[in-house]
Chain A
């Protein structure tokens, strides 16, 4: 069905308050929805319910102490946040990392990407009404969390990747367990695809809904899988390879509009599913190439970057994370600013969801895969 033309019938508008306590706003987002019957005429997202003064806190903490705070930004992809922040600090300090550290970082980051995309796809199914795929996704994510627990003792907020290294070396058997997980996971991914991806009702609900055209996507600063679904191949792992990503062979899946048009909700879901496959591919290569070495050798005794500023970008599960750090030569940052991908992705939400129906609003919001911890910081 095409977008409703709201000029046909004009009735009184009803303002509906969705959230912050609502099952489908993915946290504490509040949406003020102006509705005309089932059709949404205007949406105002209101955020800030989870604001924890992350950036202000950072101005009073030493560089090492910021790492646990980055965990709490994107709590579904904490490793990415740790990694992104550590990379920017290392760029300031100009540290050369041991190979092993880089490989371990890639392994945990890709495991984290799988875990995060599993939640995104599962919850997207839940938003559309399919409950079983969600539980399957969480079941498989659980295995990744078990691996992380083995690695650093935490299941959600890891504080694992530190400036200059990682907190612990890989535990014995970690590589074996990871390989076992990958062997187990690939058939499960196919099963997930079978039950949800091609489902007629699912396609009806998501294809051609909430289209982000490439122009709109770029203009609003959308990034990550959400932008790639619009047909733009923009992946920092490929475009500006950081860490050791240039040593791996992987593709960047982009939306092709297989079920509808390019950039619809189904494409965003599909791109995430294909990215999981690519992450598995990277993981297998990283495990095969993993070198030996000391993971703590490059850890600086004292993190005291020279006066100056740095901005570094990182491809997290949600998109383009940027950390801008300004140093005045002390051991605490003078100013720290984070570019939140989910925030930019959410900004396009009211643009693309006006004129759709109530149910579509939920679908579109689910397909953007926002994490409120990162939006509000």
Chain B
């Protein structure tokens, strides 16, 4: 058992406070850090996204706002302060609740979505031993908590008392619940082979053998099913039908503004990060350096390894996947609702089931 909460507890044990108080303190400290991570990541990712889209669309993107005291300019600061300014604008905006809205639910909804993202980070590893809490049902927990958000989406869409929001919420609910099935079936592959739901065990298996994406052709397919289902889970293009801006204005977020909307945004980017980290951990060797891809090099070659380099490798892989998500977003049109369902139920789920079946047979033969 090697996790951040455990090390914090042992670190704080000199205070000789009762264990229950210590646990609360440890949870608070880690919770604040998760929040900071989410906020910083969202800020950077928004900037990154705007720059990526600008690059693809032959424009400059944000260019004017510099950091504190520095005027912008394309030479040096490149508009890095733009997202900070945007975040401040959102926080100081007037808080609008429509008259006919169900106010209690409307206030509650962003927090449920946010809670889903926040809770999920507890089970997300950042490197060897750098995980808030490494419990033995890690993956199961992550899959469970990451689907809390859909309740918030339905609440937001229903309570807004707006037909566009209702459409967005219903589409979103159908989409997220459907895509959880191929997502879960693809996750079952590493679990089946490794025989454990613990993230660190799965990465340990990959460091002994090879990256999971190269385990067999089936896991190779499973990685793509997982990643594309992840796109649908996070409502990214080409599956952004719940907030399809050309159809539903802003979908379930139509009536939200200011701080509440910022929370939605934060959670959306957090869930992107979660999906990308999960795909790296499950299929791309997690925090292992790229030298371990086939595990054919001698150990002395693996110089960039260990927990600190682990963070670097994991985030490199995750950020690359996030870049791929952005690439998709600025390239593809959007699917229609029925096509989305068709893709899920008639393509992904049969393939994911077949994958599971064949990997199970492989395990039977070679074990």
Binding site for B on A (CB under 8 A): 1, 14, 16, 22-24, 38, 125-132, 135-136, 139, 195-196, 199, 201-202, 204-205, 357-360, 362
Q: A16-B163, A129-B238, A359-B244 are in contact. Are A135 and B333 (CB under 8 A)?
A: no
Q: Is the CB of A131 within 8 A of B247?
A: no
How many A-B residue pairs have C-beta atoms within 8 angstroms? Tell me.
81
CB-CB < 8 A to A205: which residues of B? Answer: 333-336, 339
Contacts of A125 in B (CB 8 A): 333
- Secondary structure of the A contact surface, majority rule: helix
Q: Is B167 an interface residue (CB 8 A)?
A: yes
State which of A14, A23, A202 has its C-beta within 8 Å of the C-beta of B246: A23
Q: When chains A and B are docked, how far (Å) is the Cα of A159 from the Cα of B339?
A: 47
Task: Enumerate B325-360 residues with CB–CB distance to A below 8 Å.
Answer: 330-339, 342
Residue of B245, B247, B249, B334 touching A358 (CB-CB under 8 A): B247
**A195–B246 touching, CB < 8 Å:** no
Once bound together, how far apart are the Cα atoms of A205 and B238, in whole Å? 12
A16→B337 CA distance, assembly (Å): 18
A1 in contact with B339 given A14-B163, A201-B238, A359-B244 (CB within 8 Å)? yes
Partner of A357, one of B59, B237, B238, B336: B336
Q: Which residues of B have CB within 8 Å of A135?
A: 57-59
A-B contact pairs, 20 of them (CB 8 A): A1-B342, A16-B164, A24-B246, A128-B333, A129-B238, A129-B240, A129-B334, A130-B331, A130-B332, A130-B334, A131-B57, A199-B332, A201-B332, A205-B334, A205-B336, A357-B337, A359-B247, A359-B334, A360-B336, A362-B247
Within 8 A of A (CB), among B160-190: 163-164, 167
> B237–A129 contact, CB under 8 A?
yes
Of the listed residues B164, B330, B332, B336, the one surrounded by the most CB atoms of chain A closer than 10 A to its CB is B336
Instruction: Find B333's partner among A24, A201, A360 (CB 8 Å cutoff).
Output: A201
Contact partner, B330, options A127, A132, A204, A357, Cβ 8 Å: A132
Chain A positions within 8 Å of B241 at CB level: 359
Give the chain B neighbours of A132 by CB distance below 8 A.
Answer: 53, 56-57, 330-331
| Chain B interface residues toward A at CB < 8 A | 53, 56-59, 163-164, 167, 237-238, 240-241, 244-247, 249, 330-339, 342
- Given A16-B163, A129-B240, A358-B167, are A136 and B57 neighbors across the interface (CB < 8 Å)? yes
A24 to B244, CA, bound (A): 11
Chain B residues near A24 (CB-CB < 8 A): 246-247
Is A23 within 8 A of B249, CB to CB?
yes
Minimum CB–CB distance from A14 to chain B (whole Å) comes to: 7
- Given A16-B163, A22-B249, A135-B59, do A130 and B336 touch, yes or no (CB 8 Å)? no
Pair B163/A129 contact, Cβ less than 8 Å: no
Query: How far, in angstroms, from A359 to B57 measured CA to CA in the complex?
Result: 25
Is B333 within 8 A of A359, CB to CB? Answer: no
B164 to chain A, nearest CB (A): 8
Q: Measured between alpha carbons, how far is A22 from B330 in the docked complex, in Å?
A: 22
Task: Give the residue among A125, A131, A204, A360 with the most B Cβ atoms within 10 A.
Answer: A131
CB-defined contacts of B249 to chain A, threshold 8 Å:
22-23
| B137 nearest CB across to chain A (Å) | 37
| Closest-CB distance, B104 to chain A (whole angstroms) | 24
State A1–B335 Cα separation when bound (angstroms).
12
- Who on chain A is nearest to B331 by CB? A132
Q: Does A23 lie within 8 Å of B339, measured CB to CB?
A: no
B337 contact from A23, A204, A359, Cβ within 8 A = A359
A78–B334 alpha-carbon span in the complex (Å): 32
Cα-based distance from A132 to B52 in the complex (angstroms): 11
Query: Of all chain A residues, which has the CB nearest B164?
Result: A16
| Complex partner residue of A131 from B167, B330, B337, CB under 8 angstroms | B330
Instruction: Name the B residues within 8 Å of A204 (CB-CB).
Output: 335-336, 339
Instruction: Given contact pairs A14-B163, A38-B167, A130-B333, enumerate 13 new A-B contacts (beta carbons under 8 Å).
Output: A1-B338, A1-B339, A22-B249, A129-B244, A132-B57, A132-B330, A196-B333, A199-B332, A201-B334, A357-B338, A359-B244, A359-B247, A362-B247
